[in-house]
Each structure stands twice: as C-alpha cells, then as structure tokens.
Structure 1
Amino acid sequence: MRSPLTRRGFLAAGSGLAATALPALSGCSSLAASDSDPDTLVVHSQLGTTAPGSATYLRALKRFRAENPGLKVKNLVNGDDLAQVYETARLARKEPDVVMVNLYDKTLAWTDVGATLDVKGHLDDWGLRERVLPQALSAWTDGKGRLRAFPYFATNWPVAYNRALLEKAGVHGIPRTGDELIRAARRLRAHGIAPVTTGGNDWTGQKLLAQIIQTFLTEDEARHAYTTGDFGSRGAREGIAYFVELRDSGVFTDKPQGLTSDSMMTQFHTGKAAIESAMSSALAEVPERVARHTDVGGWPLADGAVHDKPTILRSYTLIGFWISPNGAKKADAVERFIRFMYRPDTVSRFITESGRDMAVRSDSLSTGFPLVAAAQRLGSDVSEVLLPDVFVPPAANQPLITATSTSFTRGTSAARVRAALESAYRSV
C-alpha cells in the first residue's frame, strides 16, 4: 500500500514548508546553528520527563558525557508528537542526529523515504549484531531487508489481575475462559468493582480489541487482517463476535469508549477495577500496595480458539535508535553513543532501575518491579498473539482509534464493529 509520505513530499518540500518548520521545534527545543558542529551530538527522545526509564536515561547521558569530554550532547524531548516534530525538522534540514522512538504509524515510512538510514551495515561494522535478540532484528527489518533502527526497548503485555479484589468478590483464581471471565465480571459488579478497565478511546483499547479478535486467528491470518483491513474471514468474524459477547456481558468497565490509558491506570491503581491489559512499563508503575496482591497472566480464551493457552501481546519495537541524514555526517559520535547505550552495564540499569524490557541481550532481571519480573517469567504458560502496529498502514492508525471507541460502545453489533474496523482503511 502506498505510504502517505512520499520522497518528494517529505524530502523535497518547498520553501513555504521549510519556512514553517523551525517554529514547530519549540515543543522540545530549538535547533541552533551550533548543532551542526561535529562535536555536538543531537539526540531526540521521548525520555527525559516522566516517561518510564527517563531518570535512568538522563543518568546514562551524564555518564556518557563524562566519558566523552570532547563531545557535547544536546537532548531534545517530545512526547506523542515526537514523530511530527522530527518530520518538520527534517523538512528544514535541521533534524537531530539520533532519534529514539518506536516503530509505529508515521515512523513506518521513514527509512523508505530516506528520512532515516538503513543501519544494518552499522550494526555489523560496529560488532553489535550479537547484542540484539533475533526477534527484535526481525521486527525492525522492513520488507526490503533494511534495518530501520537499532532495537532497544521491548515490552511484555500481559493481563494484570488484582487477586484481592477478585477474592473479595468470591472469584478464586484467574479466569482462563470467556465464561469464567463473564461470571467473574458479574460477581465483581455485584460488589461495586469494575471488572476490566481499558482505554477504549485510545491505543490501549485498540490493542486489547486486536488481542481479543485474534482468539480465532493464526498469526498469518492476523497479519493479513491488519495489513489489508479485511476482517471478513471466519476467524476474524468469530473474534469480533467473542469481543461483542464479552462487552455486552458487562466484562468491561462502564463507558470504556470514553476512557484513555490514564483513566485505565487510575482505575486499576486505586483498586476501582480488578483487571487491566498492561504493557510492562505500565506494570512497573503499579503501586506496591496493589502490586503485592496482583497476578499476571493471559487473556481468557473462548471455545474453539486457535490458541491453547490464554494470550498476551509482546513487542520488540518500543524504542530504537534511528540515525538521520544529519547523523550520518557524525558517524563517529553516533557510533560512540550507540555503543555506550548497548553496553551491558547501561542495558542492565534500564532493567533494574526502571523495569524496562529490552530488545538487547542481558542477564539482568527486573527484580525491583515484581509484576514486570512475573511477566518475564510467563513463558510457556501463555500464548503470544500479534501486535499489529508494524502492519497497520499509517493512514489507518487514527481511524482505528475511532473504530475502537465505536466497538467498545455497548450495543454496537458485531457487523457494525467489523464495518467500523474496515472503514478505517478506506483512506489507505
């Protein structure tokens, strides 16, 4: 499918676009002329404020600066708008040298249009291939064999169950089937406790919906559905019907179609909801008073599921180090930075200090983050389903959020859910 970004539109923008590029950088920091100095490395990241791992990252930068006294490092920080800010900076040829962001939506097209480099050669030349998990290399490699970025953060994405709330409602043990989940939800509601909380109006609900639909889809079938927007297969229709059955049986918290990830975490962290589907960085944020009586597992299955165990999501594309065309001019500085970030001691600190899952090999465990560590140990107790992020065309991502909100609206038929999902691909 054709990317909404083209080489002409992205890299050969007219003077009008370039002239508007610099003000958009104010959200992170302005790029001064000195940033083109070969002795200044400019790194653009989502780490540096409250994002999980930010404190560890800032300490790593401090150590890197101390070890490289002749090299200045400028750290630019953005949140969810990082991709847009980077693209604007690239139009003005003022982009940072290294970008730390996930493989999702806009970033899927960057390497293809020349906004960032294929780093496969650097990975081998710098002797770092063996440091990366094979699954991560596969996930970051595009259909033309190009490695989009140096893989770094990964995530496990299990389901967290507040055991104390379940037991208060008379539910003993984690639900493993849809029928068990429905019965548990009824008991929880009878005790004034919301069952499953999710951000039905953002990416958290989108991922949970995709996970439930895949109850009846093989990996290849799921890849086809989320690449093409074709949800008409028998498995996809059965998965949507399963979701609708759970929703209309009261499994999800009230009015989830209006909630966000922040709402979800607040409900779970305060004991207002008993269950949430949460990536490992969110599990690391669960307060100790809740974590000590929380178990992690998979999403319950329906009869006839293609999986034999409850499902989780897992991703190796959460954050990578992308190299820009400007960064190519500072290859020595970029190499020193990437090598430093790949060092076992640096990687270990993200695991032990921040509870991050990594796409880079390490023997360290997140022992200070019990739920993250428990998710890392799930192993063969769960089945893994596809995280669709790298297969959904960028133009369909935001429409899929809208479709997700529609889907979580109680009373929406399975046929309407399917229509909403497929309509998200009309502009692709």
Structure 2
Amino acid sequence: MRSTTSRRALLAAGGSLAAASALPALSGCSALAAADEDPDTLVVHSQLGTTAPGSPTYLAALDRFREETGLKVRNLVNGDDLAQVYETSRLARKEPDVVMVNLYDKTLAWTDVGATVDVKGYLDDWGLRERVRDVALDAWTDAKGRLRAFPYFATNWPVAFNRSLLDRAGVDRVPGTGDELIGAARKLRGKGLSPVTVGGNDWTGQKLLAQVIQTFLSQDEARHVYTTGDFGGRGARRGIEYFVELRDAGVFTDKAQGLTSDSMTTQFNTQAAAMQSAMSSALAKVPDAVARHTDVGGWPVAPGAAHDRPTIIRTYTLIGFWISPNGTKKIDAVEKFLKFFYREDTVARFIKEAGRDMALRSDAVSTGFPLVAAAQRLGKDVSEVLLPDVYVPPAASQPLITATSTSFTRGTSAAKVRSVLEAAYRGV
C-alpha cells in the first residue's frame, strides 16, 4: 500500500528526474524527451502505430492532419506498457501532450492525481459534446463529475461461432444455454476440434471469466463484486460454480490456463476451435473464408440466470484522448488535433478501413468487416454484462490475471476459484 500512495503523490506533484530514474528502464523511455521538443511540435503517445488494429488508418490520418494544419506531430508508440511509460515521463515533467489509451488499471487514477486534466470544459468550448454518445460520456466521467478524456474507440464483445465446424460435429444450432454448450463441446471434441478457445493466461480469459460469473448477477450486483472483491454473495458463488461446471465439462480449449489472446485468435482463425469470445478488433481479423460461415451472438446462460438472453460485453472506454499538463501549454494545437479526429470523415475511415467501433456518433458502416457490423446489430437477442475494468481497483488488476489462470486450470474447485479471486484484492 505504501508504494501505491508514493506513486500517487509523485504523480500529483509532477515528480522529479531523480524519481523517474528510480523506476525500471522501459522500452518506451523516449517519451522522456517529449518536453524537449520544439514548442510547435505536438507530442502524442499512443498504442497505434505498429500492428495494433487501426494503426494504418491512424498514421494516414496523422499525415492528413499535418498537411492540413502545417503542425508538426511526433507519435510515440508503446504497447501494454504505455501507462507505465507515460507515468515515468510525467514524473520527470516531460510527458507527451496527448495520450491515447483505455480506461483501465493505472489510468483510472490519472485525472484524480493530476497526471492528466479534466477535459469537460474543452469538450464544451470546442463544440464537440454532440459528437459523443451519451453512454460514452457517462463511462468516461468519474465520481466527481470530471471527464477523464475525449472518448474515441468503443468495442462490442460477443461470441463468434464457426457454423461450419459446428455442422461438422453434428451441432445443428448455435448454443444458447449452458447445457447446449456442454453438449456441443462433447461433439466437437469427438471430431478432434476445440470448443471455446480463450487466452486463460491474460486479459481475454479474465474478461470471459468475469462475463460467466455475471450470469447470476444484476449490473448493480456485479458493480459491487468487482469494486470490492466480495465474491461471497449468492449470485457470485453461483456464477463461479457455473464457470467450473463448464470448464470441467470440457467447454474450454485444452490448457487454456497457459494461452494468450494471440493463441486464441490463431486457433479460431485457423479453424482449430469452433468458438471464441472476441472483441471487435479480433472479429475484424477473422479471415474472409472463415467469416463467411461465422455467426456472432451471446454467451449461453444457465437456468435461473439474472439474464434471460445470452450475454455480451459492450464498452465505450477502449481508447480516449487524454490531455496532459504539458498539453495545456499547447492547447491551441491540441484543439485542432481533437477537432480533426472528431470529424465525421476521420471517424468514418476508422469504421470502414479498420473495422473499429467508435464512441462517437456516425452513420458509417463496417461493410468490409461483416462480423464487426453484425455485432453492432445485436440488440434484443442479447443482454449486456459489465466490463469490470473501470470498477476493479488498479492494485487488483494484475493479480486478477494470475487468478484467472488458476481458475481455468481443470480440477480447481469453485471454492478455490473464489479464494484466488478474493486474494487479488488483498492490500487494495
């Protein structure tokens, strides 16, 4: 707990070079050079720029922005370590001007400790509020009414079902209940096919586990569970038992506890597995030959569930544009940047070229990404459960990944699963 308090205090104060040098060396520490840039150069820190979905569209948009405005933009790129790299640069007061990252783990505290600024006033002053979906504004607004960032990417998180593989195994319809899912898994295994592939050793498994546990929870109950780590209530315990029943019946791919999101995507896209719980960016990567015989729907529910339909996750907090204290010193350039990326033509290109779901209003359709478009159309056929990311305390986020791997290990009892999930919250 002392280290967390120290980190929050340092971020709030801006820190020092000495404090920054005490942190581990990181691959993206070029971010520390941000404050030394020409004052006319806008420095943006993003996960887009390499292989992340939407990167080519983003880089092309940056080029158009430079051409239209004459402004210089430096794009710093990091992957999963972006939040840590940004905090390192913030401690040295050399942070980038704009940060593009999701609302999760470390970033939950940024606005509260002054590592980034409340952008609500800018959103209104720049006339951009009407561009944002109301549900996205709600998701990005904290308990004190501050808007943490300008919402941008959203995502749907349905289940993809390979109809061809289901047909080959003699499964005549997409499973809609737990019993149907168990029956389909047995038939698929009889044909040497994996049923549900999942990255049980990373965030994909964590999200699916959370989704299954919510089978017997209302959204308010789920919010309490993932905020407090109290998995002892009747609904949470029933959800854990349901997960264990599915796991030990062979629903998930073999050795799921050691797999990652890349493993999951590869298994589904090469037709080694018949089903996957996949967010929009993964659906956009499904090859055309597989997408042609793939349906999207919800996760099957059990009798007595709190939901009367299969469930999906839908969230609007995937990527937002955060403004740093340094960014306020270049606010005119930041305004031009945000207005450009909020323009309908820019938003439409992310939808059409990259298959991205957006937190902004748009009439564009992902015609080149049929599974993404199909997920967008899911309405009354599914029920929504919470994405726990914005409720899980930052200190519990990574321990929950470890708990997820244990949970996907065959033979682990429901009591043990509950124990490791609750243990992730110790010291929070």
In structure 2, do the counterparts of structure 1 residues 14 and 58 end up closer, same or farther at CA, with 3 Å as the change threshold?
A: closer
**1:93 aligned onto 2:93:** yes
Alpha-carbon distance, 1:19 to partner: 4.0
Residue in 2 aligned with 1:10? 11
Alpha-carbon distance, 1:31 to partner: 1.7
Alpha-carbon distance, 1:380 to partner: 1.2
> Aligned partner of 1:355: which letter?
G
In structure 2, do the counterparts of structure 1 residues 331 and 143 end up closer, same or farther at CA, with 3 Å as the change threshold?
A: same
Alpha-carbon distance, 1:9 to partner: 2.5
Matches within 5 A, 1:237-248: 237-248=237-248
For 1:136-193, what per-residue CA distance to the aligned partner results, in whole angstroms no more than 9, with x for missing partners? Answer: 0000000000000000000000000000000000001110000000000000000000
For 1:357-378, what per-residue CA distance to the aligned partner results, in whole angstroms no more than 9, with x for missing partners? Answer: 0000000011100100110111
Residue in 2 aligned with 1:75? 75
Alpha-carbon distance, 1:38 to partner: 3.1
- Give the TM-score normalised by the residue count of structure 1: 0.97
C-alpha contact 1:3 1:393 (8 A) present in aligned 2:
no
C-alpha contact 1:47 1:77 (8 A) present in aligned 2:
yes
Residue in 1 aligned with 2:409? 409
Unaligned runs of 5+ in 2: none
Matches within 5 A, 1:302-317: 302-317=302-317
Q: Whole-Å Cα distance in 2 between the matches of residues 188 and 58 of structure 1?
A: 42
Residue in 1 aligned with 2:48? 47
Residue in 2 aligned with 1:133? 133
C-alpha contact 1:21 1:89 (8 A) present in aligned 2:
no
**1:323 aligned onto 2:320:** no
C-alpha contact 2:32 2:88 (8 A) present in aligned 1:
no
Residue in 1 aligned with 2:109? 109
Residue in 1 aligned with 2:259? 259
Q: Whole-Å Cα distance in 2 between the matches of residues 2 and 359 of structure 1?
A: 36
Residue in 1 aligned with 2:360? 360
In structure 2, do the counterparts of structure 1 residues 232 and 39 end up closer, same or farther at CA, with 3 Å as the change threshold?
A: same
Residue in 1 aligned with 2:147? 147
SS in 2 for 1:329: helix
Q: Whole-Å Cα distance in 1 between the matches of residues 85 and 263 of structure 2?
A: 27
SS in 2 for 1:427: coil
In structure 2, do the counterparts of structure 1 residues 244 and 26 end up closer, same or farther at CA, with 3 Å as the change threshold?
A: closer
> Aligned partner of 1:65: which letter?
R
SS in 1 for 2:380: helix
Q: Whole-Å Cα distance in 1 between the matches of residues 34 and 307 of structure 2?
A: 54
Q: Whole-Å Cα distance in 2 between the matches of residues 129 and 3 of structure 1?
A: 38
Alpha-carbon distance, 1:24 to partner: 3.9
In structure 2, do the counterparts of structure 1 residues 2 and 298 end up closer, same or farther at CA, with 3 Å as the change threshold?
A: farther
Matches within 5 A, 1:202-217: 202-217=202-217
Residue in 1 aligned with 2:33? 31
Alpha-carbon distance, 1:30 to partner: 5.7
Q: Whole-Å Cα distance in 1 between the matches of residues 214 and 23 of structure 2?
A: 41
C-alpha contact 1:102 1:320 (8 A) present in aligned 2:
yes
Count of residues in Structure 1 that have an aligned counterpart in Structure 2: 426
SS in 2 for 1:146: coil
In structure 2, do the counterparts of structure 1 residues 245 and 25 end up closer, same or farther at CA, with 3 Å as the change threshold?
A: closer
CA RMSD of aligned residues (A): 1.6
Q: Whole-Å Cα distance in 1 between the matches of residues 174 and 353 of structure 2?
A: 29
SS in 2 for 1:226: helix
Q: Whole-Å Cα distance in 1 between the matches of residues 151 and 32 of structure 2?
A: 27
Alpha-carbon distance, 1:18 to partner: 3.3
C-alpha contact 1:25 1:31 (8 A) present in aligned 2:
no
For 1:243-301, what per-residue CA distance to the aligned partner results, in whole angstroms no more than 9, with x for missing partners? Answer: 00000000000010000000000110111100000000110001111111100000001
> Aligned partner of 1:58: which letter?
L
Alpha-carbon distance, 1:393 to partner: 0.3
C-alpha contact 1:3 1:394 (8 A) present in aligned 2:
no
Residue in 2 aligned with 1:276? 276
Unaligned runs of 5+ in 1: none
Q: Whole-Å Cα distance in 1 between the matches of residues 301 and 387 of structure 2?
A: 17
SS in 1 for 2:286: coil
Matches within 5 A, 1:286-301: 286-301=286-301
Alpha-carbon distance, 1:25 to partner: 6.3
C-alpha contact 2:161 2:174 (8 A) present in aligned 1:
yes
SS in 2 for 1:8: helix
> Aligned partner of 1:16: which letter?
A
Q: Whole-Å Cα distance in 2 between the matches of residues 149 and 394 of structure 1?
A: 18
Residue in 2 aligned with 1:164? 164
> Aligned partner of 1:17: which letter?
A
SS in 2 for 1:148: coil
C-alpha contact 1:27 1:78 (8 A) present in aligned 2:
no
C-alpha contact 1:155 1:279 (8 A) present in aligned 2:
yes
SS in 2 for 1:240: helix
Residue in 1 aligned with 2:177? 177
C-alpha contact 1:22 1:30 (8 A) present in aligned 2:
no
Q: Whole-Å Cα distance in 2 between the matches of residues 414 and 34 of structure 1?
A: 54
Q: Whole-Å Cα distance in 1 between the matches of residues 61 and 298 of structure 2?
A: 34
For 1:220-263, what per-residue CA distance to the aligned partner results, in whole angstroms no more than 9, with x for missing partners? Answer: 00000000000011000000000000000000000100000000
> Aligned partner of 1:130: which letter?
E
For 1:114-140, what per-residue CA distance to the aligned partner results, in whole angstroms no more than 9, with x for missing partners? Answer: 000000000100011110001100000
**1:236 aligned onto 2:217:** no
In structure 2, do the counterparts of structure 1 residues 119 and 397 end up closer, same or farther at CA, with 3 Å as the change threshold?
A: same
